[in-house]
Amino acid sequence: MPRSLAGGDLAVPEMAQPYMKKDDDDEDVEYSPFFGIEKGAVLQEARAFHDPQLDVRRCSQVITKLLYLLNQGETFTKVEATEVFFAVTKLFQSSDAGLRRLVYLMIKELSPSSDEVIIVTSSLMKDMNSKTDMYRANAIRVLCRIIDGTLLTQIERYLKQAIVDKNPVVASAALVSGIHLAQANPETVKRWSNEVQEAVQSRAPLVQFHGLALLHQIRQNDRLAVSKLVSSLTRGSVRSPLAQCLLIRYTSQVMRESSMNTQNGDRPFFDFLESSLRHKAEMVVLEAARKITEMDVTSRELTPAITVLQLYLSSSKPVLRFAAVRTLNKVAMTRPLAVTNCNVDLESLMSDQNRSIATLAITTLLKTGNESSVDRLIKQITNFMSDIADEFKIVVVEAIRSLCLKFPLKYRSMLNFLSNSLREEGGFEYKKAIVDSIVTLISEIPDAKEIGLLHLCEFIEDCEFTYLSSQILHFLGNEGPRTSDPSRYIRYIYNRVILENATVRASAVSTLAKFGALVDTLKPRIFVLLQRCLFDTEDEVRDRATLYLQTLSGEVPIGNDEKDAKDFLFGSFDVPLANLEASLRTYEPSEEPFDISLVSREVRSLPLKEKAAPGKRPPAAAAAPAPVSTVDAYQKMLSSIPEFSGFGRLFKSSEPMELTEAETEYAVSVVKHIYDGYIVLQYNCANTIEEQLLEDVTVCVDASDAEEFSEICSKPLASLPYNSPGQVFVAFEKPEGVPAVGKFLNLLKFTVKEVDTTTGEADEDGVEDEYQLEDFEIVSSDYMLRVAVSNFRNAWENMDPESERVDEYGLGVRESLAEAVNAVINILGMQPCEGTEVVPKNARSHTCLLSGVFIGNVKALVRLSFGLSGPNEVAMKLAVRSDDPEVSDKIHEIVASG
């Protein structure tokens, strides 16, 4: 193998040693220059760096070996790294350019510690001021990699010079170093603004690119400055396509931010984006198209971008096809009609060699396709599914589910597709995605129920996943008995009792019992099957069989009648498990049995972290225990106070609300406890002044703006020492079951006594004083418990349609659709269901489902349909169903007044 072996050549001929590829035959012997390389031996060789007469070629070879070791993931101990580093610094003596370049790389790779850096800084500083441009560029890069903030200020002057150096390599080195340094030393780098500004005007494309990136980084928190930057550059000429892409991103960011602040819909830079669609660099065109599609534009403005993307779908370059189809896929999520014109090109991409492109094409088509093309699409996808990985298949299955919900009449072919997919090989996540999809389709499309259930039954005949079998059995138990011929499912269920593991057997027993409870004709036969389960080897299965046999035969009374027995079998478990667990933990074994009805139904959000500065102020709500059991704890605490023990059952307790600013001398928060006919205000008070003791602490409540409330009693606090919080209570009577609202003004009154901090003793005489607290209101959402339902659709249909009240509201101009949705959720204080509180980006309409329990234990469900008209003008349709039509009206009143 002839090779030039000039000084400094990095080829490594004499290192070549036989290197046998593991699986190859003898004649395929290959030689690896690094075969048998050992760290210890290479470190020994590195001693050559100390030779007074440096052998440049040998040193280069040793450095190459060291680099190979590092690139293979080999690590050096601290001592080894230090030794190598010191040795490498000796190589600065050589003036060989090739070796010097390797030395720069090696120092960066070794990243020496701060105490070692000093050894090499003088050499690097010398190089940084060298007349040789390339020494300067490399020295800058190495220095910026290894120095800290103090050294940076010493070399700052040189870096600023380098940024405007006429050699583009030096300028780029300084600019890229600036981008890295700005993360740890933003203030220093900010001072280079003028030089960077000059670099942005450079004729060298890469200098312009790096300059623009750094300038944006320096100014990113100053909206006006970024806007000015964009404004000047969009008028001028940007040479580098890379810089042009950056400019497009910054421009769209400026447009997005300015559209939030102005309502007139002006988009000053839109012409720039549009003209970028005609740029000669493909990268720029695609970036511009992508940004336009992400904006809130009219169909007319969107069309040129879509046309450009469509052209790239048939590009010979896979990256361009991928970028185009990925962008179109995103557009199809929010504006499927805009992408319909690309369907023919997308269909041809389904056979693309690159599976990522093919999958994106399919999922896009599934979003844009019309009803007539569904069958053809499904057929094409079936051929495609066998040769893609599970993660792609899951994406396709989810897209099929959405498509089926869009075109419910096509359920048959789509269920067949899903059922065929169930029979194919695949992992748990994939199978779960299919089962979830079938379950969703059955729940949403009534006609699909029977055929869907049979597909699921066939699947559990040969299902290797216990979790999925149990899930399907549970679902079958709820849906199967209500079909036209429930008996057809029994065989599949009982087969599970015979063939499966204990978990699945137990689930099957429960499912059988549900059929027995609902289908009278099947009951005697179910009895026989359940009796067979009494001899199961697993006690859980036997116990369930025994319980259900006795329940169904009426031997064990569950409630008062058959309806109660059915509720027992079918009733959704409406107690949040976390609350149940917390209540069970606090339950002390006694004569009194545990009462599940006392467990709070309210879904609690995670506790907010205490805002108080640590050490300075004890948390005002310190008395309140962990959030899940808070309601239990409040109930217990309030019922132990004689004045409040006759108030009945506590309906709801609010989160503590701060009535004082942070860092003030007294910290007070209020918790609103709501009863049917009363409210109790619990003021959590804390004294943060060590030199004071407060006594006779009361809260004077002015309820003149809350007419329906009348104060009945108050429970003051005898003493409030430093760092030991206490509570003051004030109780009000209000009309029974009425969600009265009003504003409460509060004044903290007390006697202050001075405390000698050395002895801890307080003066005998005190001074009366008062402290103004913030006002707060009792609002309608205080009468609403956040209670989730597991299946909103079922719950909605089970409620009397007569109770439904529908009306439309204009919400005016809002910041965004998501902000409007959140505002309404907060006004109502209800629990969002099925993740509908999350509004997809760029959505023009959204439906949000809420559930809750209103005071008087009235269940209420809300469907909110939001739509955007004009620039951020939000309209809302509100439909409410509840156990009591009056509550439906009341919820409308709350929204109307909110």
Partner 1 sequence: MILAVLFANSDGNILIERFHGVPAEERLHWRSFLVKLGSENLKGSKNEELHVASHKSVSIVYTTIGDVCLYIVGKDEYDELALAEVIFAITSAVKDVCGKPPTERLFLDKYGRICLCLDEIVWQGLLENTEKDRVRRLTRLKPPVEP
Binding region for partner 1 (CB under 8 A): 3, 10-13, 21-22, 30-34, 60-61, 63-64, 67-68, 71-73, 97-98, 100-102, 105, 108, 132-135, 137-138, 141, 145, 167-169, 172-173, 176, 179-180, 206, 210, 213, 242, 245-246, 249, 282-283, 286-287, 317-320, 322-323, 326, 353-357, 389
How far apart, in Å, are the Cα atoms of 520 and each of 482, 551, 784? 12, 14, 40
**Choice between 31 and 570, CB closer to partner 1:** 31
**Choice between 36 and 265, CB closer to partner 1:** 36
Contacts 24+ apart (CB under 8 A), 561-569: 565/517, 566/517, 566/518, 569/513, 569/514, 569/517
CB 552 within 8 A of CB 517: yes
**Choice between 215 and 612, CB closer to partner 1:** 215
Rounded to a whole number of angstroms, the minimum distance from the CB of residue 71 to partner 1 is: 5
**Choice between 144 and 706, CB closer to partner 1:** 144
**Choice between 320 and 549, CB closer to partner 1:** 320
**Choice between 256 and 877, CB closer to partner 1:** 256
User: Which of 578, 607, 591, 642 lies closest to 788 in space, CA to CA?
Assistant: 578
Rounded to a whole number of angstroms, the minimum distance from the CB of residue 113 to partner 1 is: 18
Rounded to a whole number of angstroms, the minimum distance from the CB of residue 346 to partner 1 is: 17
Rounded to a whole number of angstroms, the minimum distance from the CB of residue 176 to partner 1 is: 5
User: Which of 250, 240, 255 lies closest to 217 in space, CA to CA?
Assistant: 250
How far apart, in Å, are the Cα atoms of 342 and each of 336, 339, 359, 637? 11, 6, 15, 66
Distance from C-alpha of 573 to C-alpha of 594, rounded to nearest angstrom: 17
Distance from C-alpha of 230 to C-alpha of 256, rounded to nearest angstrom: 13
Rounded to a whole number of angstroms, the minimum distance from the CB of residue 294 to partner 1 is: 13
| Consecutive H or E run containing 127 | helix 114-128
**Choice between 291 and 890, CB closer to partner 1:** 291
Rounded to a whole number of angstroms, the minimum distance from the CB of residue 52 to partner 1 is: 24
Sequence letter at residue 711: E
CB 730 within 8 A of CB 714: yes
DSSP code string of 517-566: HH-GGGHHHHHHHHHHHTT-SSHHHHHHHHHHHHHHHTSS--SSSHHHHH
**Choice between 212 and 830, CB closer to partner 1:** 212
| Consecutive H or E run containing 836 | none
**Choice between 213 and 460, CB closer to partner 1:** 213
The tokens for 869 are 């008209």
**Choice between 213 and 861, CB closer to partner 1:** 213
| Consecutive H or E run containing 852 | strand 845-854
Rounded to a whole number of angstroms, the minimum distance from the CB of residue 318 to partner 1 is: 5
User: Which of 458, 429, 452 lies closest to 440 in space, CA to CA?
Assistant: 452
**Choice between 168 and 656, CB closer to partner 1:** 168
30-32 and 652-653 beta bridge pairing: unpaired
**Choice between 11 and 125, CB closer to partner 1:** 11
**Choice between 72 and 757, CB closer to partner 1:** 72
Distance from C-alpha of 464 to C-alpha of 468, rounded to nearest angstrom: 8
Sign of CA dihedral 818, 824, 829, 830: negative
**Choice between 252 and 687, CB closer to partner 1:** 252
Rounded to a whole number of angstroms, the minimum distance from the CB of residue 68 to partner 1 is: 6
**Choice between 2 and 593, CB closer to partner 1:** 2
Half-sphere exposure of 886 (CA within 13 A, CB side): 7
User: Which of 730, 635, 744 lies closest to 683 in space, CA to CA?
Assistant: 730
**Choice between 101 and 474, CB closer to partner 1:** 101
Sequence letter at residue 784: M
Rounded to a whole number of angstroms, the minimum distance from the CB of residue 288 to partner 1 is: 12
DSSP code string of 447-460: GGHHHHHHHHHHHH
Rounded to a whole number of angstroms, the minimum distance from the CB of residue 213 to partner 1 is: 8
> Please, what's the b/e burial string for 712-733 (b: 16 or more CB within 10 A of its CB; e: otherwise)?
eebbebebbbbeebbbbbbbbb
Rounded to a whole number of angstroms, the minimum distance from the CB of residue 61 to partner 1 is: 8
Rounded to a whole number of angstroms, the minimum distance from the CB of residue 454 to partner 1 is: 36
DSSP code string of 156-170: HHHHHHHHT-SSHHH
Whose tokens are 């690097």? That residue is 124
Rounded to a whole number of angstroms, the minimum distance from the CB of residue 109 to partner 1 is: 9
Distance from C-alpha of 72 to C-alpha of 770, rounded to nearest angstrom: 72
Q: What is the largest CA-CA distance in the chain?
A: 105
Rounded to a whole number of angstroms, the minimum distance from the CB of residue 33 to partner 1 is: 5
For 757, other C-beta atoms within 10 Å of its C-beta total 10
The C-alpha angle with vertex 206 and arms to 202 and 209, in degrees rounded to 5, equals 80
**Choice between 306 and 686, CB closer to partner 1:** 306
Rounded to a whole number of angstroms, the minimum distance from the CB of residue 400 to partner 1 is: 21
Rounded to a whole number of angstroms, the minimum distance from the CB of residue 20 to partner 1 is: 13
Distance from C-alpha of 250 to C-alpha of 243, rounded to nearest angstrom: 11
User: Which of 104, 92, 794, 105 lies closest to 446 in space, CA to CA?
Assistant: 794
Rounded to a whole number of angstroms, the minimum distance from the CB of residue 221 to partner 1 is: 17
CB 231 within 8 A of CB 264: no
